[in-house]
Chains A and B, each alone.
Chain A
Amino acid sequence: MSRFVLSRLAQMVVVLFAVSVLTFLIFNVIPNGDPAARMAGKSPTATQVEAIRAEWGFDESLPVQYVRTMEKVLGGGAISYFTQLNVREEIVRGLPATLSLAIGAAILWMVMGVALGLLGALRAGRISDRLLTFAALAGVSLPVFWLGALLSYYLGFKAGWFPNGGYVPLTEDPLDWAYHLVLPCTALAVLFVGFYSRILRSNVLDTLNEDFVRTARAKGLSERQVVLRHVLRNSLIPIVTLWGLDFGAVVAGGAILTETVFDLQGVGQYAAESVGQLDVPPVLAVTLFGAFFIVVLNTVVDIVYALLDPRIRVS
């Protein structure tokens, strides 16, 4: 087991390095023009650009530039030349809101996705299943920023049932915190509910044909027990892996649109606002930290998985 963990960790380090190189290439090498001027923002003065060039080492060789860039971003020395704020501090400040949104939405989409997927599978072929299929396709077709804007306008602003955007820290007022998160979590979850319910439906349909299900039925278990204990449990495995991946993607910047529409002041909104100003350092930092987070999370998921299921360790 410890050998598996070690090799998985070594693999993680390699991927982290590759991710950081790719990020560096995207920001400093692939685009045309002067990287220092790009860092400086929309309308920099010549002295500013020169100062940035010296600071980030843009007049030196590419490996040196890479090391300098990583030092600055990971070490927390990078600042936005537009707002003059420290980039890493701003990201840390936005984390609670982003995590709240991601956790709330992840629970919501898992519960709803499993419930609707199971319902569709058990009623396969009937009208209710067709309707669920169509609803799932509609769900994955809805752009989250549009859905979010309409929800926030009609249910928040017009009807007054929900707050009109914004984030309240959990430590300040737990009830208000949850109240502010209802609409954003719903809007973000819709896409995944459609997606998960479809996958679960097809998994359940496959599992229903397995021998052990026939055995369970032959044993005289009630249909309810067969479905919940045997079918559902086995159909959930691939979904749980996906859940980890999607949760990681949401935390690592996937919620950029949702946060912006609902003014949640999280990491995603910070990135979106910086993008609007073409303020490069924050976008660089969010991209790098986001990808790092996903890589680390995937490793953790793999290791936990191997702990639970010994078969994986071998292969």
Chain B
Amino acid sequence: MIAALAAPLWASAVADRAPDRTNETGTIEVDGRQVDVVSLDGVPIGPQWGGEYLLGADANGRDVMVRLLYGARNSLLIGIAAALLTTILATIVGLVAGYFGRWVDAVARSTLDVIWAFPVILLGVALGTTLAVGGLKVGPLELEAGSMAISILVIAVVYVPYMARPIRGEVLALREREFVEAAHAQGAGPLRTMAGELLPNLASTIVVFAPLMVANAILLEASLSFLGVGVMPPDPSWGNMIDAGVDRLVTAPHLAIAPGLMLVLTVLALNVFGDGVRDAFDPRSKAAWGARRL
């Protein structure tokens, strides 16, 4: 996992070609012969296992390995940023709803329930499609259509209920405890109580959720890009590389297999890590499994 996370950071140093440099008519030397990178009938060259075109070329003669590394940048950036945003939003919603209770809680809970009624992928697709056309403009927040910030926002919002619900439940239990009462007696206001007393007690839940949320976010990003509403070509992401590869599975299977393997290994590493974290912090918790829905 560390390798998967580190390599993209040096993508520009490791790779001596730009990810969008096409080479449809070029040739390279294989076993002493000159071979077309993209053959005359449009079949790109397969993996060379060394040097240029380590993992082969795509239909436009672009180097798959180079695109994988740059794609990893996009996929990981979106995944991590979205998971971070989900965590922040869910923690705020959970804290506020659980702490104030009554109508604040009722409003928050029913809003979450309504978002919950949509399948994750469908909500992602709906938001992705509508925002892909015109972008977003809500008050001071203005995001350009097709920008990466839109993908991050969409993925983050979709997963908020899955994390906010268990956090709210925990806050409800915590606020009855003596230390909260003690804080109130000392004259701490709501903000101070939430940030200073409740938040530290939520840390283990948040830590357990975080790696799983990153894994979910990376998978959802790939799914959305696969459907064409995530990262837009020619920018590479694992999802849109698989999308392009699936169309050419028959002639050039490496185009779909390489990004897919990267995706699976990264997500698997995060899930194994998350499972370990869960065992260490909170072995009886099943809440985190609830975060995996379609």
Contact = CB atoms under 8 A, between A and B. Distances in A.
Which applies to chain A's interface (DSSP): helix, strand, loop or mixed?
A: helix
A30 B125 contact: no
A15 B134 contact: no
B126 A38 contact: no
A280 B130 CA distance: 7
Nearest to B137: A32
Contacts of B282: none
A213 interface: no
Contact of B249 (A34, A153, A275): A153
Contacts of A256: 121-122, 125, 227
Interface string B100-131: 00000000001001110111111101111111
A143 B121 CA distance: 12
B227 A272 contact: yes
A100 B6 CA distance: 44
Interface string B216-247: 00010011001111000000000000100010
Q: Counting chain A CB atoms within 10 Å of each CB, which of B129, B242, B260 scores highest? A: B129
Given A141-B264, A275-B128, A275-B227, 20 more contacts: A22-B115, A30-B127, A30-B130, A32-B135, A32-B142, A133-B275, A140-B271, A141-B270, A145-B226, A146-B263, A150-B260, A249-B119, A250-B119, A253-B121, A254-B122, A254-B293, A256-B227, A276-B227, A287-B118, A295-B117
A221 to B, nearest CB: 27
A267 B197 CA distance: 48
Interface stretch (A84-92, A178-186, A195-203): A195-203
Contacts of B222: 143
Contacts of A253: 119, 121-122, 125
- Chain B contact patch, size range: 35 or more
A152 to B, nearest CB: 8
B122 A19 contact: no
Contact of A271 (B125, B136, B138, B223): B125
Contacts of B256: 146, 149-150
A176 B252 CA distance: 30
A286 to B, nearest CB: 7
A33 B130 CA distance: 10
A26 interface: yes
Interface of B: 110, 113-115, 117-123, 125-138, 142, 145, 215, 219, 222-223, 226-229, 242, 246, 249-250, 253, 256-257, 260, 263-264, 267-268, 270-272, 275, 284, 286, 289, 292-294
27 contacts: A18-B110, A26-B127, A32-B134, A32-B142, A34-B134, A37-B134, A133-B275, A137-B272, A138-B268, A140-B292, A141-B219, A145-B246, A150-B257, A153-B253, A199-B286, A250-B119, A254-B122, A254-B293, A254-B294, A256-B121, A256-B122, A256-B227, A257-B227, A286-B122, A287-B122, A287-B123, A294-B118
A275 B125 contact: yes
B130 A141 contact: no
Contacts of A252: 119, 122
Given A145-B226, A249-B294, A33 B260 contact: no
- Chain A contact patch, size range: 35 or more
A32 B135 CA distance: 5
B115 to A, nearest CB: 7
A143 B260 contact: yes
A23 B122 CA distance: 11
Contacts of A157: 249-250
B25 to A, nearest CB: 29
A49 B131 CA distance: 18
A193 interface: no
Contacts of A22: 114-115
A15 B114 CA distance: 7
A67 B125 CA distance: 23
A257 B243 CA distance: 11
Contact of B242 (A133, A141, A145, A278): A145
B160 to A, nearest CB: 13
